[in-house]
Amino acid sequence: MRLKISQFLLAFLIIGALTLGGCSTQQVASNSPTSAATSPATEATTNTTTEATSVSETTSESVPGMTDLPRLEGNATVVITVKGSPITIAVDGANAPITAGNFVDLVQKGVYDGLAFHRVVRDPQPFVVQGGDPQSKDPKVPANRLGTGSYIDPKTGNARYIPLEITPKGANTPTYNKPFDATAQPVLLPHKLGAVAMARSQQPDSASSQFYFALADLAFLDGSYAVFGYVTQGQDVVNKIQQGDRIDSAKVTQGAENLKTPG
């Protein structure tokens, strides 16, 4: 009989399985808030109309550094192959343009090819499969370092970080830079089984290249981590991934023309 996990234990697992990703050993981007947050913001209003109005005023152009990041203006399809079996992901650039654009851009650059899934949490209840640390390409990197790496832009020599991006239902644009209280207002991209989202450190704007697959409905993560797509085929492949398994390849099969890169 499967043990039922408590909300407290799930919250504990998220700290170990998600917040170590992104940039825990590197400097956070300069546009990050000074306060760390790992749970949905408590200051969000319970008035849906008021919240939607305030969110719509937070555009990507108003957030410093956003114009230097890739955007996905529309949708795309990415196929990740693991041990010869494909996983098809529908990437949603309409509701997560920066997060989706970052992911598709890294796929196009071949960043994910050969990387390992360094953290798999299935017990006592299915949770996440996490990968995307560029350090994992080198098999000599110690296992205790995996989960701390970020994508380093070869043009600048600096890590690329993206802001936390959450779109609430009823909003015209995403909200950025801080967790959103999804208990007061649902989000458009929830953590359902098969959701694909970005891992990050305790700083909201620290996601870079690490991502995870949700192995169950994880509604308590909504608003704290940015979902950017869903597995449409190959969830059975995701369910079989073991720690240390590598990505054979990651390819954009549709929607590549929707990726807009700066410059």
When pLDDT is cut at 50, 70 and 90, the band that residue 263 belongs to is confident
When pLDDT is cut at 50, 70 and 90, the band that residue 64 belongs to is low
- Residue 240 in any domain: the answer is yes
The whole-number pLDDT of residue 75 equals 98
- Residue 34 in any domain: the answer is no
- Residue 42 in any domain: the answer is no
Helix (H, G, I), strand (E, B) or coil at 250: strand
- Residue 24 in any domain: the answer is no
Tens of pLDDT, residue by residue over 119-164, are: 999 999 999 999 999 999 999 999 999 999 999 999 999 999 999 9
- Residue 32 in any domain: the answer is no
Cα distances from 148 to residues 151, 157, 225, 253, in angstroms, run 11, 17, 17, 29
CATH number for the domain including 167? Answer: 2.40.100.10
pLDDT at 43 over 60: no
- Residue 43 in any domain: the answer is no
Tens of pLDDT, residue by residue over 176-194, are: 999 999 999 999 999 999 9
The whole-number pLDDT of residue 65 equals 66
Calpha distance 163→102 (Å, rounded): 11
Closest CA to 103 of 130, 78, 138: 78
CA 200 to mean position of chain CA atoms: 7
Tens of pLDDT, residue by residue over 2-42, are: 334 455 455 555 445 455 444 333 333 322 212 222 222 22
The whole-number pLDDT of residue 255 equals 98
The whole-number pLDDT of residue 185 equals 95
The whole-number pLDDT of residue 67 equals 86
pLDDT at 257 over 80: yes
Tokens of 166: 């959450």
The domain total for the chain is 1
- Residue 56 in any domain: the answer is no
- Residue 129 in any domain: the answer is yes
Pairing of strands 247-254, 227-233: unpaired
Q: What's phi and psi for 57, nearest 5 deg? A: -85, -10
Could you count the other beta carbons within 10 Å of the beta carbon of residue 138? Answer: 10
User: Which amino acid would we find at residue 203?
Assistant: Q
- What range defines the domain where residue 104 resides? 71-260
Tens of pLDDT, residue by residue over 207-244, are: 999 999 999 999 999 999 999 999 999 999 999 999 99
The whole-number pLDDT of residue 18 equals 56
